[in-house]
Homo-oligomer: A and B are copies of this chain.
């Protein structure tokens, strides 16, 4: 089985201060799942060099893939590149190819310090070029540096995603009108029989259709189908509203 574990580091005071709702981690969570990549952790942290370095270093060591989002613009609060470099014990350098791209983009207008800041990368970083995108994506070791602006993050991720294919998850869902405390025992029995099953139980308040959504998942399709049949056979008659998958 091809398994990939990922972590996401969202860098942005605007999210912690409640000014902006982070839509990047939900987007990446959905996309990674579809690719079969297992997302293990999301951290939302401030635009602070030491916190970025500490968090990225930790995720770099724990997971196969790390995605950062935010903090890559030309202003004072854009310290992600420096944070990633520090996480890996590398220097920050100006990448000649990025500098050229920026001068091209400026089309004869003079480059200021803010423009040149956007040509900085951790030493030894790769540039992932895609013809559909104006600027390449910066990758260093297992870390992909993505922007905070959702539209651009999404474009960049779509250009990269073929790199991240793992074995897919198979999902089956049961919606029931029983409460969790009634079905807990059946879930428990199912897990005893199918210990490798990913089994979730999500109560919903004030829904006319169902009370609990039960999700069964595995990378082994036949395993999840057997577990699904096992649980269905045990739930009280008439308690299943509908199923999916």
Contacts and interface: CB of A to CB of B under 8 A. Distances in A.
Interface residues of A, number: 62
Q: Which of A29, A32, A75, A200 has the most CB of B within 10 A?
A: A75
Interface string A15-39: 1111111100110011111100001
A131 B27 CA distance: 39
Contact of A74 (B17, B26, B184, B199): B184
Given A77-B199, A185-B112, A205-B149, A29 B43 contact: no
A16 B109 CA distance: 44
Contact of A77 (B20, B43, B77, B201): B201
| A-B residue pairs, 10 tightest by C-beta | A114-B184, A18-B30, A42-B44, A18-B29, A114-B181, A18-B33, A75-B201, A16-B39, A74-B181, A21-B26
Interface in A190-213: 191, 198-206
Contacts of A74: 180-181, 184
A170 to B, nearest CB: 12
B20 A205 contact: no
A229 interface: no
Nearest to A115: B181
A46 interface: yes
Given A76-B191, A115-B181, A203-B149, A33 B14 contact: no
Given A18-B29, A19-B215, A152-B205, A75 B42 contact: no
Nearest to A152: B205
A91 interface: no
A87 B155 CA distance: 40
A34 B17 CA distance: 9
Given A21-B26, A215-B14, A46 B42 contact: no
Contacts of A191: 76
Contacts of A115: 181
Given A21-B26, A184-B113, A44 B46 contact: no
A232 interface: no
Contact of A18 (B32, B77, B152, B188): B32
11 contacts: A15-B29, A17-B217, A18-B33, A19-B33, A22-B26, A25-B44, A41-B44, A76-B191, A112-B181, A114-B185, A151-B206
